[in-house]
Amino acid sequence: MATPYYIPETNVPLPPKGAEVITTACDYCIVACGLKVYRWPVAGNGKGGPKAKDNAFDTDFPVDPLGPWVAPNQHNIVLHEDKPHHVVVIPDKDAKFVNKGGDSSLRGGCIAQKVYNPQSPTRDRLKSPMVRIFGILQPVPWDFALDIAAAVGNHVIDNHGANAYGVKTYSYQYLENTYAITKYALRHINTANFTFHDTPSDVSSTPGFRDAGFDNFGPAYEDWMNAETLLICGTDPYETKTILFTQWIMQGIQNGQKAIFMVPRRTAGVAYAEKNGGLWLDVNPGTDLLVVNAIARIIAENGWQDEEWIKNWVNNKWGSSSGFGQGTRNTPWQWRTTWGKFQTNGYDDWKKWLLAQDEFKLANASKVSGVDAKKIRKAAEWMAKPKGKKRPKTSIMIEKGFYWSNNTGNTQAISALGIIVGAGGRPGQVIGRAGGHQRGGQRGGKYPRNKSPMKLPGRRRRALDTDTYTMSGHTRLAHVIGTTWIQSMCGSQQLAKRFHELTVANPHQVRSYDKQDIIDTLKKRADSGGMVVVNQEIYLVDPIGNRYADIIFPAATWGEEDFMRANGERRLRLYQKFYDAPGEAKPDWWIIAELSKRMGFEGFDWKNSNEVAEEMSRFSRGSRKDFHQIKVAAKREGKTLHQKMREFGTNGIQGPVFMTEDGKLEGTKRLHDTQRKLSVTGPEASNVFNKKLTHFNSQTGKCNIQKSPWSLFSDYWEWMKPRGDELWCSSGRTNERWQSGFDDRRRPYIVQRWPDNYVEIHPDDAKKRGIESGDMLMVYSDRVPSLKETILGVEGSDYSFSGQMKAGNVELTRAAVTGVAMVTRHIKKGMLYMDFLHTQQPANALEGRIVDWISGNYNYKMGTAKVKKIGESPYKHTFRTMSFAPRDIT
């Protein structure tokens, strides 16, 4: 095994005066920092000088701290209109929002290394369509690949039904693409076998927020700064949405904000908060609900709740379950609540329930969660105890560490806590998600829930679980777009085994030079119970593309096409094209359009991404990203939508966007803004004033305060919790690596930092097992639970984990993943932590492939595993690669 090393450049070309400046935003985390691309031709040997008069920044070098320095990783060479050009990509030093003054993380800071350059490790970008012929993916012309995909696709739909055509896609790689993909999959194919990259079923990620009436992304970034107490659950924003922390929360902490982190790892943001008077609630995996409800209980017992807010903004029985409530209509909210497990008649009813649950008593919550009772009490005081008549301004932020362990329970509990402390609807008093990826979803069709075979008690349907459905052999064509699918889902290794059986182990393999022969073979594969895989990607992904795909479509991405997208405060920007996509790679909207036309679907005659954007704008109306009025304004001014978006530069505009009486565009700072005064003339023409602007997302516009019983989840938690020498095994992002590492694996510096997956383990747990930092570990389990068939049941209780176990629908399987030991003080004792999406060493293999039986999401963050040393990694005794120092140094 070679040790990766990286030799830094020691000088870098500066953009000369006259270099073109193109605005865009970062491709990675939810924050989407504004960036500027400086581009100038290689021909002519033009290069800026260190004097202000000689460079495009008008700045003397060396620059001041925070200045427009160009690190060597911020330079690259690209083809633009087929001619070599230098590009320097740095955060926009003029940014007024988001990354004010030009801050950036390591990820976005080095994004110049992402762009295709055949002299860099990006050289393996997919450059032409391919078809697997005689077992090898071989380049073919677009027509050849598209004709095959269209013919087989139509055959599958005609002979096996629309649900046999599975579409597994990213939800966020730009509005134009997601619109085209969902128009194709949901409106035209109309398949229920459809979901996004992070969930087996197309369901709400935060069911409790949905029920309470909270939008996931209502808050403005300034609210996180302006809160006096901020509870952050299941994430360290410093690690995973850096600028949200460094530009906003960190400023808040410096202004005296009390930051409370509820996470099992003490990473840099947590350590910073603690150093500045904050609090770390070091919760055991899966026990967040107990801590949240213990806090709520202390608040309720002491009468610290926000009475005024509750009186004005919380539904009573009339508002939530009868009369003006949602009634008996078939909504996700309703089929969860009709069991009577969640809904209440208002605050008093909720309080009565809360106080009657012994498991929420402080002593018990502290014992099970492993969080010191004193800290829980302190959190309750900080969040709600009034000083005299003044209440603290409290906000609550959640993310996946929290909502992907007890998905329904945790999100219900935190919503109720948010409601009683008055979070939501006022400056500095908000509740929302921190966010993971950016918000680039725009539906071009409606999910056909009625076509899903997944039924819940009362004959109600839930979105189809595409993993179980595929495991059961019902997916005959899997169209996979921009996701690894397998490693991103729980029980990854079982999924991989099944994919293998359905594809390469099927007898019908392409061994022909003739297009019609190839089509016929793949049809036979589908008819025989096998599966055909079409994969749309920027790189060849292992195994979905590399091993299983029959057809590969090469996609163009960031910087290679004009695209629109929003960030975590709904800020819409145009991400501009600044260089040529490699080879024949095409944007996903184009690929989908070409496929659709061949399959006989109408409405896919777009000539460019702006035409897609202009078509979809009306479907955004009423949504948190509503940008329709930008198009209206553009047309009035004789511009295209993209041209108008370009004018907003890196500052963009926050959705929903309105047009005021005098024709100006106005954005929305925060949703549920109870203090906002809307135009008195109200909505006119295509202006939409959605309820969420000034109220909450419920029938009445008030919040629903709901119960969150531990008992609906405790059977699974008790069964999962470590036995013998097992440890909890959780996973998540690390600052330096984004998603599957599709770019980071091709950045020498990041490969040097994180060459393999790692396994964080507490020094006490490590010592017991004879493990030292740098050892190569085997992390394994003999009891990864997995659903065998689509859930079977009649009564509500049949659907619980115990019910499914009793019915024999849970299979226990083995899983094994290797990783490099990182013995560290920053992780809680009793648990392991790995990178969540290392494609070679997928931590999700160890997570139970059991959906949250109420919501349909996976609880990714709470597997269990054994761990043992199998040798030493090459990084243990060498100095160039990895670091084993803790992440909590302040």
Kindly list the residues in this chain that would bind another protein in the complex (CB under 8 A): 5, 7-12, 14, 50, 61-67, 69-74, 103-106, 109-110, 238-239, 242, 246, 250, 267-269, 272, 735-736, 749, 752-753, 878-883, 885-887, 889-890
Q: Which is nearer to another protein, 72 or 603 (CB)?
A: 72
E-assigned strand segments in 123-175: 130-133, 136-139, 165-169
Q: Which is nearer to another protein, 156 or 882 (CB)?
A: 882
Contact criterion met (CB below 8 Å) for 286 and 717: yes
**In sequence order, what are the residues at sequence separation of 6 or more whose Cβ sits closer than 8 angstroms to the Cβ of residue 739?**
437, 837
Residue 144, CA distances (Å) to 127, 149, 515, 551, 596 in order: 15, 9, 7, 10, 15
Q: Which is nearer to another protein, 66 or 363 (CB)?
A: 66
E-assigned strand segments in 252-399: 258-262, 279-281, 394-398
Provide the minimum distance between the beta carbon of 248 and another protein in the complex, in angstroms, as a whole number. 13
Q: Which is nearer to another protein, 636 or 880 (CB)?
A: 880
Contact criterion met (CB below 8 Å) for 114 and 75: no
Contact criterion met (CB below 8 Å) for 744 and 751: yes
CA distance 180 to 648: 24
Provide the minimum distance between the beta carbon of 71 and another protein in the complex, in angstroms, as a whole number. 4
Contact criterion met (CB below 8 Å) for 313 and 420: no
Provide the minimum distance between the beta carbon of 27 and another protein in the complex, in angstroms, as a whole number. 16
Provide the minimum distance between the beta carbon of 306 and another protein in the complex, in angstroms, as a whole number. 33
Provide the minimum distance between the beta carbon of 434 and another protein in the complex, in angstroms, as a whole number. 17
Q: Which is nearer to another protein, 108 or 401 (CB)?
A: 108
Q: Which is nearer to another protein, 209 or 238 (CB)?
A: 238
Q: Which is nearer to another protein, 814 or 880 (CB)?
A: 880
Q: Which long-range contacts (CB under 8 A, 24 or more apart) does 446-453 make?
A: 446/186, 446/187, 447/186, 447/192, 447/194, 447/202, 448/186, 448/190, 448/191, 448/192, 449/192, 451/162, 451/163, 451/190, 451/191, 451/192, 452/192, 453/163, 453/192, 453/790
Provide the minimum distance between the beta carbon of 64 and another protein in the complex, in angstroms, as a whole number. 7
Helix residue spans in 247-306 (DSSP H): 250-254, 268-275, 288-302
CA distance 75 to 229: 41
Q: Which is nearer to another protein, 365 or 821 (CB)?
A: 821
First to last CA, the chain: 34
Closest to 641 in 3D by CA, of 609, 683, 673: 609
Residue 395, CA distances (Å) to 232, 538, 784 in order: 9, 39, 37
Provide the minimum distance between the beta carbon of 272 and another protein in the complex, in angstroms, as a whole number. 6
Residue 703, CA distances (Å) to 211, 307, 700 in order: 8, 14, 8
Provide the minimum distance between the beta carbon of 292 and another protein in the complex, in angstroms, as a whole number. 28
Torsion of CA 127, 131, 132, 137, to 10 degrees: -10
Q: Which is nearer to another protein, 64 or 82 (CB)?
A: 64
Q: Which is nearer to another protein, 425 or 741 (CB)?
A: 741
Q: Which is nearer to another protein, 110 or 354 (CB)?
A: 110
